Amino acid sequence: MSAPIALRGWSLWRARLFATPLDSAISIAVLLGLGVILQPLLIWAIANASWSGSTRADCSPGGACWVFIKARFGQFMYGFYPEPERWRPNLFGALVLTWGLAVLMRGTPRRGLIALVGVIVLPFLGLWLLYGGFGLREIETRQWGGLMLTLVLTYYAALIALPLAVILALGRRSRLPFLRLLSIIFIEFWRGVPILTVIFLASLLLPLIMPSGVGVDRLARAIIGLGLVIAAYMAEAFRGGLQAVPGGQAEASAALGLGHWRTTAFIILPQATRIALPALTNETIALLKNTSLVLVVSIFDLLGIAQAALADPTWVGFQVEAYVFAGAIYWVLCWALSALGLLLEARMAEGRERT
Amino acid sequence: MLALWRDRRVRDILSQVGVGLILVGLTVWFVLNASANLRQAGIASGFDFLGRTSGIEVAFVLTDYTARSSIYDLLVVGVVNTIVVSLLSIVAATLLGFLIGLARLSRHWLIATVAGVYVEIVRNIPLLVFVFFMYGGVLAALPGPRDSFIFFGISALNNRGFTIPVPVDGALMRLALLAVTLSIAAHVVLALVSKKRRDATGQGLPMGVIGAVLLVLFPLGALSFATLMSTWDIPQLRGFNFRGGFVLVPEFVALFLALVTYTAGFIAEIVRGGIASVPKGQLEAARALGLSPMTTLRLVTVPLALRVIVPPMTSQYLNVLKNSSFGAAIAYPEVVSLFMGSALVATGQAVEIIAITLAIYLAIGLAVSAFMNWYNARVALVTR
């Protein structure tokens, strides 16, 4: 058999769409169907859409009213965070991005140290920048919102979930029966109930089980709830990774004189993380998507602020615009996360190929 | 002392006792705080509140619940609504998911690409966006009752929901459904008997004919008989709205559509992965043995693919059950919005209500897992 010929241009499309009469018929039917669906959609979203102006009077009927999104853009991004202070979330976002790029770039000197310092310092720096105090104006979490809040929820919930997940996964594979049982109960409980109920539960029960007078911030309750659930799911991802590390690795490490904890930290966990990475990426994406549920306890993340904006009597009836806009942003974020996951996977695979 | 700590058994026991003590301590502290807080708020704990009259109106009821019924009956309404929307969504999402999954594997480039685009879009957007979009963007944008979309002259879709005909007296219909269930059960039993006989003697029962009768002819006959013999309450436009029939409220339709579009994307990926995992050699061997394409599909591809598909499909089905709680965001009266929402506000019994709701989800989840594990054990690889 001869090697397949690389097709280009028209011949490629002919092979894809019109190879046989049946293929041609299917292609034409599908294209017609797409046309019927997409044409009104494109006319609505682009051709007939209104882009400029500032009130609903500037919007023509029969097309999308992107003016609504434009007028509310600040809110969609920051919620009710006061405008003169919005440099603070911006700065924090820029810091996290710079740190991430520095850690990812090969040429950065002392990458390990930078990574470690960032993991420890950035969360506290972020709290200070966002909430204020110590010289900055205090901004109640009630005023946080929009895309910024979605990212804050994801970041801090993941920060709670990852270490907890490692502990749970190790616990589930522990030699000690009591620890194993506890880990199993914890994991299966949180995986068995809807995240929505967990957010309700956290917002109702956390203040109840604290001594009276000790308040737990509403946003903190949601983050703790999300963190606990995602930890259970991530623990299962880590467990898969732990199970896939060959037993010889631990034995070799023991033979070299490393104790139990050093073997776990320096031999087993790095390899398990590499194997678990695709699953962990998926769980992080699930976390990002599930942050939208906080609107049931009146925290206005990206979707919540869109929902709130629709209640404004001067902008009634632009549901589709709001949801399409929010959906598009979520899509880009999830896509970026999965791209990051693929990049990390490729990076971690390099070390393996060298051997 | 130090020597004792070096003994592994002693260390194991001590560390576990330590963790246990910390947990017990924390729990006691939490419970003490909670009871103090509850006393302060004047809320008596206990499950007596379940017998109280609820006084809550519900828009979508499949039991004989009214506002004068008890809180317990309200809970039942919520559970029934959760199960109904989950079951219907699971069936529809499985069908759509299989279609899209197969389309992704199509040799035809355009079909595979369109299916791929669908999956990529759907999986990267939160379910809640779909729920709101279907509710606020699609259902609310439908015309009013006077300009409803009429299907076959008997059901109407408008911005007040989807009105469908119902039998005036459901007894005959229920009887027919029972008969169909029995005939399917009979088919399962006969298939097992046939397999046993074929394994023993090489000659099984004529399952083709039996299947045609028990799975197609008899159910069709029974259902059409019941349909024709019952009196139907068909929705009719009277003035500004439809009278008669049963109204599937917009919340139900929106939640159903959202669950189906979203879950189908995930099921499609599972199906695609399962079928792609069938080794090519198996298909070539089947062709070498002279099996026809349909027989190959039935005896080789499907059994091998099912092995890969069943476990992740179980978790998808459980996800649908859990995700039906998203209905609370648009006030579809399922268990979270009725019980954790309305009943909790009415009674203030937060701890008990949360415990009951979570227990219900865990119980249904365990039951589904047990069933799917049993099924999985049947299709799993048996090595000799």
Structure confidence at residue B317 (pLDDT)? 92
DSSP annotation of B153 reads T
* Interface subset of A 127-156, CB within 8 angstroms of B: none
Q: pLDDT of A219-232, one tens digit each?
A: 999 999 999 999 99
Interface A-B: count of C-beta contacts within 8 A: 137
* Interface subset of B 275-304, CB within 8 angstroms of A: none
Question: With an 8 Å Cβ cutoff, are A211 and B12 in contact?
Answer: no
- Looking at every residue in chain B, the average pLDDT score rounds to 89
Structure confidence at residue B24 (pLDDT)? 94
Cβ-based contacts of A303 with chain B (< 8 Å): 126, 128-129, 132
Name which of A176, A296, A303 is nearest B129 (Cβ-Cβ): A303
Under a CB-based contact definition with an 8 Å cutoff, are residues A281 and A337 in contact? Answer: yes
For residue B196, give every residue at least 6 positions away whose Cβ sits within 8 Å of its Cβ, in sequence order, or none: none
In single-letter form, the type of residue at position B113 comes to T
Report helix angle A177-192 to B350-379, nearest 10: 100
By the CB < 8 Å criterion, does A124 face chain B? no
CATH number at residue B269: 1.10.3720.10
The SS3 call for residue A36 is helix
Asked if residue B92 and residue B22 are part of one domain, the reply reads no
| Beta-sheet pairing, B246-248 with B161-164 | antiparallel
From the CB of residue B200, how many other CB atoms can be counted at a distance below 10 Å?
Answer: 9
User: What's the rounded mean pLDDT across residues A253-270?
Assistant: 92
The SS3 call for residue B248 is strand
Name which of A16, A192, A204 is nearest B354 (Cβ-Cβ): A204
Asked if residue B137 and residue B88 are part of one domain, the reply reads yes
Name which of B34, B132, B336 is nearest A323 (Cβ-Cβ): B132
Question: With an 8 Å Cβ cutoff, are B128 and A195 in contact?
Answer: no
Asked if residue B366 and residue B277 are part of one domain, the reply reads yes
Phi/psi for B151 (5° steps) reads -105, 120
Please report the ipTM that was assigned to this predicted complex.
0.90
Torsion, Cα A214 A219 A224 A230, to 10 degrees, reads 170
Question: With an 8 Å Cβ cutoff, are A335 and B124 in contact?
Answer: yes
Q: What percent of chain A has pLDDT over 90?
A: 62
- The number of distinct structural domains making up chain B is 2
In a domain, B128, yes or no: yes
Q: How far is A136 from chain B (nearest CA, A)?
A: 34
Q: How far apart are CA B82 and CA B63, in angstroms?
A: 13
Is A303 a residue whose pLDDT tops 90?
yes
Q: What percent of chain B has pLDDT over 70?
A: 98
Closest CA to A165 of A231, A116, A220, A253: A231
Structure confidence at residue A4 (pLDDT)? 65
Question: With an 8 Å Cβ cutoff, are A197 and B358 in contact?
Answer: yes
In a domain, B173, yes or no: no
The helix, strand and coil proportions of chain A, stated in percent and rounded to the nearest 5, come to: 80, 0, 20
For residue B117, give every residue at least 6 positions away whose Cβ sits within 8 Å of its Cβ, in sequence order, or none: none
Asked if residue B368 and residue B287 are part of one domain, the reply reads yes
Q: How far apart are CA B156 and CA B148, in angstroms?
A: 6
Q: Which of A117-121, B43-47, B256-260, B294-298 has the lowest mean pLDDT?
A: B43-47
From the CB of residue B177, how many other CB atoms can be counted at a distance below 10 Å?
Answer: 15
Q: What is the 3-state secondary structure (H, E, C) of A57-119?
A: HHCCCCCCEHHHHHHCHHHHHHECCCHHHCHHHHHHHHHHHHHHHHHHCCCCCCHHHHHHHHH
The helix, strand and coil proportions of chain B, stated in percent and rounded to the nearest 5, come to: 75, 5, 20
Question: B196 to each of A191, A212, B189, B202, B204, how far by Cα in Å?
Answer: 40, 67, 11, 9, 8
User: What's the rounded mean pLDDT across residues A174-202?
Assistant: 92
Q: Which two tokens stand for residue A20?
A: 């046989």
From the CB of residue A323, how many other CB atoms can be counted at a distance below 10 Å?
Answer: 25
Asked if residue B257 and residue B374 are part of one domain, the reply reads yes
Name which of A189, A290, A327 is nearest B125 (Cβ-Cβ): A327
Asked if residue B35 and residue B107 are part of one domain, the reply reads no
Q: pLDDT of B87-142, one tens digit each?
A: 999 999 999 999 999 999 988 899 999 999 999 999 999 999 999 999 988 888 88
Structure confidence at residue A13 (pLDDT)? 84
User: What's the rounded mean pLDDT across residues B325-348?
Assistant: 91
Cβ-based contacts of B127 with chain A (< 8 Å): 289
Asked if residue B330 and residue B289 are part of one domain, the reply reads yes
Is A188 a residue whose pLDDT tops 70?
yes
Asked if residue B372 and residue B308 are part of one domain, the reply reads yes
In a domain, B218, yes or no: no
In a domain, B309, yes or no: yes
Burial of B159 (0-12, 13-18, 19+ CB in 10 A): middle
- Which residue intervals of B56-206 are DSSP H helices? 71-104, 109-123, 127-132, 171-201
In a domain, B133, yes or no: yes
* Interface subset of B 325-354, CB within 8 angstroms of A: 325-326, 328-329, 336, 340, 344, 350-351, 354
Name which of B20, B365, B366 is nearest A178 (Cβ-Cβ): B20
By the CB < 8 Å criterion, does A178 face chain B? yes
Q: How far apart are CA A318 and CA A76, in angstroms?
A: 14
In a domain, B106, yes or no: yes
Asked if residue B336 and residue B267 are part of one domain, the reply reads yes
Q: How far apart are CA A306 and CA A322, in angstroms?
A: 6
Q: Which two tokens stand for residue B81?
A: 């609504």
Asked if residue B258 and residue B136 are part of one domain, the reply reads yes
Asked if residue B367 and residue B265 are part of one domain, the reply reads yes
By the CB < 8 Å criterion, does B262 face chain A? no
Closest CA to A302 of A317, A322, A320: A322
Supply the range of the domain harboring residue B132: 71-141+252-379
Cβ-based contacts of B121 with chain A (< 8 Å): 331
Asked if residue B269 and residue B371 are part of one domain, the reply reads yes
- Res. A353 pLDDT band, cuts 50 70 90: low
Question: With an 8 Å Cβ cutoff, are B16 and A319 in contact?
Answer: no
Structure confidence at residue B88 (pLDDT)? 95
